[in-house]
Copies of this chain bind each other. A is one copy, B any other.
Amino acid sequence: MGYSIAEAARTSGLSIDTLRYYERINLLDPPARDAAGRRSYSDEDLAWLSFLTRLRTTGMPIRRMREYASLRRRGIASAGRRKAILVEQRAAVADRIAELQACLEVLDYKIANYEHLEQNIPAVQHEASA
Protein backbone atom coordinates (compact mmCIF):
# COMPACT_ATOMS: atom_id res chain seq x y z
CA MET A 1 0.00 0.00 0.00
CA GLY A 2 1.83 3.07 -1.24
CA TYR A 3 4.96 3.25 -3.32
CA SER A 4 8.17 4.91 -2.22
CA ILE A 5 9.58 7.69 -4.34
CA ALA A 6 12.21 5.26 -5.62
CA GLU A 7 9.49 2.87 -6.76
CA ALA A 8 7.51 5.69 -8.37
CA ALA A 9 10.66 6.77 -10.17
CA ARG A 10 11.32 3.27 -11.40
CA THR A 11 7.81 2.68 -12.71
CA SER A 12 7.46 6.13 -14.29
CA GLY A 13 10.91 6.29 -15.78
CA LEU A 14 11.46 9.69 -14.19
CA SER A 15 14.21 10.48 -11.71
CA ILE A 16 13.50 11.00 -8.02
CA ASP A 17 14.54 14.61 -8.41
CA THR A 18 12.12 15.06 -11.27
CA LEU A 19 9.27 13.66 -9.20
CA ARG A 20 9.93 16.15 -6.43
CA TYR A 21 10.32 18.88 -9.03
CA TYR A 22 6.96 18.00 -10.58
CA GLU A 23 5.38 18.19 -7.17
CA ARG A 24 6.96 21.54 -6.46
CA ILE A 25 5.58 23.05 -9.64
CA ASN A 26 2.12 21.62 -9.01
CA LEU A 27 2.08 19.05 -11.75
CA LEU A 28 1.66 16.39 -9.13
CA ASP A 29 -0.54 16.77 -6.10
CA PRO A 30 1.49 16.16 -2.96
CA PRO A 31 1.26 12.42 -2.32
CA ALA A 32 0.47 10.90 1.05
CA ARG A 33 3.30 10.62 3.58
CA ASP A 34 4.20 7.67 5.76
CA ALA A 35 4.80 7.94 9.50
CA ALA A 36 8.36 9.08 8.92
CA GLY A 37 7.29 11.85 6.53
CA ARG A 38 8.33 10.03 3.38
CA ARG A 39 6.25 10.26 0.23
CA SER A 40 3.89 7.37 -0.41
CA TYR A 41 2.46 7.25 -3.93
CA SER A 42 -0.91 5.59 -4.62
CA ASP A 43 -1.88 3.66 -7.72
CA GLU A 44 -3.85 6.68 -8.80
CA ASP A 45 -0.79 8.88 -8.37
CA LEU A 46 1.13 6.52 -10.62
CA ALA A 47 -1.66 6.44 -13.22
CA TRP A 48 -1.69 10.22 -13.38
CA LEU A 49 2.10 10.25 -13.54
CA SER A 50 2.01 7.81 -16.41
CA PHE A 51 -0.42 10.03 -18.29
CA LEU A 52 1.77 13.04 -17.60
CA THR A 53 4.81 11.29 -19.03
CA ARG A 54 2.77 10.53 -22.14
CA LEU A 55 1.96 14.19 -22.53
CA ARG A 56 5.65 15.02 -22.04
CA THR A 57 6.56 12.51 -24.71
CA THR A 58 4.31 14.31 -27.14
CA GLY A 59 6.33 17.44 -26.43
CA MET A 60 3.68 19.27 -24.45
CA PRO A 61 5.38 22.07 -22.52
CA ILE A 62 5.25 21.83 -18.74
CA ARG A 63 3.36 25.11 -18.58
CA ARG A 64 0.52 23.48 -20.49
CA MET A 65 0.59 20.33 -18.43
CA ARG A 66 0.30 22.50 -15.33
CA GLU A 67 -2.75 24.12 -16.83
CA TYR A 68 -4.26 20.71 -17.46
CA ALA A 69 -3.40 19.58 -13.93
CA SER A 70 -4.97 22.65 -12.45
CA LEU A 71 -8.15 22.14 -14.47
CA ARG A 72 -8.28 18.56 -13.31
CA ARG A 73 -8.26 19.75 -9.72
CA ARG A 74 -11.38 21.79 -10.41
CA GLY A 75 -13.27 18.61 -11.21
CA ILE A 76 -15.86 17.74 -13.79
CA ALA A 77 -16.77 21.33 -14.61
CA SER A 78 -13.45 21.78 -16.36
CA ALA A 79 -13.82 18.68 -18.52
CA GLY A 80 -14.61 20.72 -21.64
CA ARG A 81 -11.44 22.75 -21.41
CA ARG A 82 -9.37 19.70 -20.63
CA LYS A 83 -10.76 17.94 -23.67
CA ALA A 84 -9.94 20.98 -25.79
CA ILE A 85 -6.34 20.83 -24.63
CA LEU A 86 -6.09 17.17 -25.57
CA VAL A 87 -7.71 17.75 -28.95
CA GLU A 88 -5.28 20.54 -29.66
CA GLN A 89 -2.36 18.39 -28.57
CA ARG A 90 -3.60 15.57 -30.75
CA ALA A 91 -3.46 17.87 -33.74
CA ALA A 92 0.03 19.02 -32.80
CA VAL A 93 1.20 15.43 -32.55
CA ALA A 94 -0.31 14.53 -35.91
CA ASP A 95 1.45 17.53 -37.47
CA ARG A 96 4.70 16.56 -35.88
CA ILE A 97 4.41 13.00 -37.20
CA ALA A 98 3.85 14.35 -40.70
CA GLU A 99 6.84 16.64 -40.36
CA LEU A 100 9.05 13.77 -39.20
CA GLN A 101 7.86 11.61 -42.05
CA ALA A 102 8.89 14.30 -44.50
CA CYS A 103 12.31 14.38 -42.85
CA LEU A 104 12.54 10.60 -43.14
CA GLU A 105 12.18 10.95 -46.87
CA VAL A 106 14.96 13.49 -47.05
CA LEU A 107 17.18 11.24 -44.97
CA ASP A 108 16.41 8.25 -47.17
CA TYR A 109 17.28 10.29 -50.22
CA LYS A 110 20.59 11.40 -48.74
CA ILE A 111 21.41 7.90 -47.56
CA ALA A 112 20.68 6.54 -51.02
CA ASN A 113 23.06 9.12 -52.43
CA TYR A 114 25.81 7.94 -50.14
CA GLU A 115 25.12 4.40 -51.25
CA HIS A 116 25.49 5.37 -54.88
CA LEU A 117 28.72 7.06 -53.98
CA GLU A 118 29.99 3.86 -52.40
CA GLN A 119 29.25 1.99 -55.62
CA ASN A 120 31.02 4.61 -57.70
CA ILE A 121 27.79 5.47 -59.44
CA PRO A 122 27.76 9.26 -59.81
CA ALA A 123 25.57 10.78 -57.12
CA VAL A 124 22.28 12.35 -58.14
CA GLN A 125 23.10 15.48 -56.21
CA HIS A 126 26.52 17.04 -56.02
CA GLU A 127 28.62 16.45 -52.96
CA ALA A 128 28.61 20.08 -51.88
CA SER A 129 25.08 19.88 -50.49
CA ALA A 130 25.41 16.40 -49.08
Q: Chain A interface (Cβ within 8 Å of chain B)? A: 44, 47-48, 51, 54-55, 57-58, 72, 75-76, 79-80, 82-83, 86-87, 89-90, 93-94, 96-97, 99-101, 103-104, 106-108, 110-111, 114-115, 117-118, 127-130
> Are the CB atoms of B72 and A130 closer together than 8 Å?
yes
Residue of B nearest to A76 (CB): B127
Contacts of A54 in B (CB 8 A): 103, 106-107
Residue of B nearest to A48 (CB): B129
Knowing A93-B107, A107-B86, A107-B89, the reply to whether A100 touches B44 (Cβ < 8 A) is no
> Are the CB atoms of A94 and B86 closer together than 8 Å?
no
